[in-house]
Amino acid sequence: MAKLRGTIALSAAVGLVFSAALLAQKKDEKKLDDKQKKEIQNVVKAVDDAEAGQPATNDLALTWAREDFLKAQGNKGFVPFSVTLDSSKISGGTVVLYWRVLSKNGAPPADPAAKGKNDDKDKDKKPAYAYEDISFVPATKDASMHVSRSFTVAAGAYDVFVVAKEQAPDKPPKNAPPPKTALIKQTVTVPDFWNGELSSSSVLMAKSIDPLPAPLTPQQQAERPYALGAIEIQPVFDTKFSKKGEISTFMLIYNPKTGPGNKPDVTVEYNFYSKEGGAEKFFNKTSPQTLNAETLPPQFDLAAGHQLQTGQAVPLASFPEGEYRLEIKITDKIANKSLTRDINFTVTAG
């Protein structure tokens, strides 16, 4: 059996149902200077042009790194995501990052009966995006700079446009080239966490999971979307792990049925399978986690908004180099239902 270094602590007090109001903080236009307002116009136009079919540039090697799905308030899903860019190509010290989320189902059809009544108002009406936001990010000089942000939307399929742009200098040199710009589009499908069925967040692969000494401000939360309640997760962007390290996971379990005291009765199993020659075989497992009235803190109460969480950190020293699949099986004993989540990863020598 693989030796378990540590199971992520279960907290009864932390409420990890995210508030769209908190996580969708918009920039106060009164606080923006003219330079920032012009940058906003530029990046918004870049996405407008891309939507209209014009070819986009990718001067900064912008790529989509990952997205994760968690439950948010108001029947919505919270989607932290990360992009990677080559900030060594940026001449200034700031990256303008803009993201726009569009439903693939399209905007609601117009009411024919209302046609002509508000034509003047409609001309100035802002397009109905599912979400949009902007951030001015200090640039590092890394060839692989990761930036994480988020959006909150209802369940469904979406196209996410992301623009990264050099912030133009106050006084550009004569005949200076235009600021470098990069645009990508990624399609994501946000699951429905509000249908009452047993479900879970994404399996968050963590480089580290650290306690937060104090609550974050709304601005800090917007810039650090993997800060969840009283902890902050540093996500991994590569599923290759050294034998000298460990594989660490974290996830939230949604909609389990409850018994007395609004407590669930859930078992979580972690099974590892090795892959070789197109086939796989069972390799190892850790001791199952039992989450019920006997193991959870006395004050744990799902009706009060407490979140059921699970996770493990497993050292990889006993894993031979190669390809693996981690199967996480969640069983709700009260509802007699189960689901599985899979993670594929590689173990390397160093």
Please state the φ and ψ torsions of residue 199, each to the nearest 5 degrees.
Answer: -155, 180
In this model, does residue 162 exceed pLDDT 90?
yes
Please state the φ and ψ torsions of residue 46, each to the nearest 5 degrees.
Answer: -60, -40
Mean local confidence (pLDDT), 328-343 = 98
Which domains are present in the chain? 6-16+198-348 (2.60.40.10), 20-190 (2.60.40.150)
In this model, does residue 112 exceed pLDDT 80?
no
The two three-digit tokens of residue 48, written as one number: 């407008």
Residues 5-18: tens digit of each pLDDT:
434 333 333 344 44
Query: Which of 21-25, 47-51, 238-242, 340-344 comes out lowest in average pLDDT?
Result: 21-25
- What is the separation of C-alpha 16 from the centre of its chain, rounded to a whole number of angstroms? 14
Residue type (1 letter), 308: L
Looking at residue 152, its pLDDT comes to 96
Looking at residue 31, its pLDDT comes to 61
Looking at residue 250, its pLDDT comes to 96
Looking at residue 7, its pLDDT comes to 40
Residue-wise DSSP of 80-145 = EEEEEE-GGG-SSSEEEEEEEEEETT-SPPP-GGGTTTSHHHHHTPPP--SEEEEEEEE----SSE
Q: Which helix (H) or strand (E) holds 298?
A: none
Looking at residue 50, its pLDDT comes to 94
Mean local confidence (pLDDT), 322-327 = 97
Nearest to residue 162, comparing CAs of 178, 146, 141?
A: 146
Confidence at 175, pLDDT banded by 50, 70, 90: confident
Query: Which of 76-80, 194-198, 230-234 comes out lowest in average pLDDT?
Result: 230-234
Looking at residue 34, its pLDDT comes to 79
Task: Answer with the residue of higher pLDDT: 162 or 21.
Answer: 162
In this model, does residue 133 exceed pLDDT 90?
yes
Q: Is the CB of residue 145 less than 8 Å from the CB of residue 69? A: no
Mean local confidence (pLDDT), 152-156 = 96
Residues 181-220: tens digit of each pLDDT:
999 999 999 999 999 999 999 999 999 999 999 989 988 9
Residues 82-110: tens digit of each pLDDT:
999 998 898 878 999 999 999 998 654 44
Q: What is the mean pLDDT of the chain?
A: 86
Looking at residue 122, its pLDDT comes to 52
Looking at residue 197, its pLDDT comes to 97
Locate tokens 């769209």: which residue? 20
Looking at residue 219, its pLDDT comes to 87
